Amino acid sequence: MSLALVTGASSGIGLEISKMLLKNNFVVYGISRNKPNLDSIQHIPMNLLEISKLSRELEELVKKLKEIKVLVHCAGLGLFGLHEELNFLKLEEMLYLNFSVPILLTRLFLRNLKRNQGWVVFISSTTASRASSLASAYSATKAGLSHFSLSLWEETRKSGLRVVCLEPDITNSNFYRETWFEPDSNVEAYLEPKEIAEILENILHKRSSINILNVKIQPKFHRIKKK
């Protein structure tokens, strides 16, 4: 029985990756505040912003998932605008959820994942590798996450653990529900969450000696529209 743990599993990319893993005969545990609209996901209600207060719950989860094969970090926040105008508390939450939480969760499950020669999957962003006006802090969290994924692979590569970082561009999901912009209506100007899940599925089926470390995924056009 292959086990997978997906954060942000209730919607968007996290939900589609969970569906893909279920299709590939994984038992999928999903961490999210809201329950996914899919009963086959083993829901773990948890606010990852409070991860430092959840030591007992996380300890039990690590014991429960000793045979974990795939850990997918999808949970994240987006805060966009002039840096001096960003809400301080929301900025702190974004920095913690996007960057600190994946590193901390990976630390908890890493020994099991190495023993099982499993996967750690990070959902970063194309902003990780470019200067982003009105997204300087957000892009910094994603750049840090992408760099951590590469360093983690270098550290663990001899164990058989595989690490992949996907860097999608703007995606048709509710990620933008609280932002001042959203994907353009042109279907060639955004990605679908299912497409990102399909790319990951293809990577997971590669033979174990192949390591695909970083994948940038972009639509044909770079367009957004204001709400």
DSSP at 213: -
Q: What is the pLDDT of residue 222?
A: 87
> At residue 99, does pLDDT exceed 90?
yes
Quick check: 178 pLDDT over 80? no
Neighbours of 86 (CB within 10 A): 18
Q: What was the pLDDT predicted at 156?
A: 97
Query: Bridge-partner residues for 168, per DSSP?
Result: 217
> What is the reported pLDDT for 226?
86
Print the SS3 string covering 109-151: HHHHHHHCCCEEEEECCHHHHCCCCCCHHHHHHHHHHHHHHHH
Q: Which residue segments constitute the domains of the chain, with CATH numbers given?
A: 2-226 (3.40.50.720)
User: What token pair was written down for 139?
Assistant: 């892009």
d(CA 184, CA 120): 31
Beta-bridge partners for 214? 165
Model pTM? 0.95
Q: pLDDT tens for residues 29-84? A: 999 999 998 999 999 999 999 988 888 899 999 999 999 999 999 999 999 999 99
SS3 16: helix
Q: Which residue has the tokens 């470019």?
A: 130
E strand residue ranges, the chain: 2-7, 26-32, 42-45, 68-73, 119-123, 162-168, 181-183, 214-217, 224-226
CA–chain centroid gap for 122, Å, is 5
What pLDDT is recorded for position 133? Answer: 84
Q: Which residues, in sequence order, are bridge partners of residue 20?
A: none
CA distance 183 to 188: 10
Give pLDDT tens digits for 105-131: 999 999 999 999 999 999 999 999 988
Give me the pLDDT at residue 1, please: 77
- Please report the pLDDT score of residue 174 as a whole number: 85
Residue 42's pLDDT is 97
Q: Give the model's confidence band at 85: pLDDT under 50 very low, under 70 low, under 90 confident, else very high.
A: very high
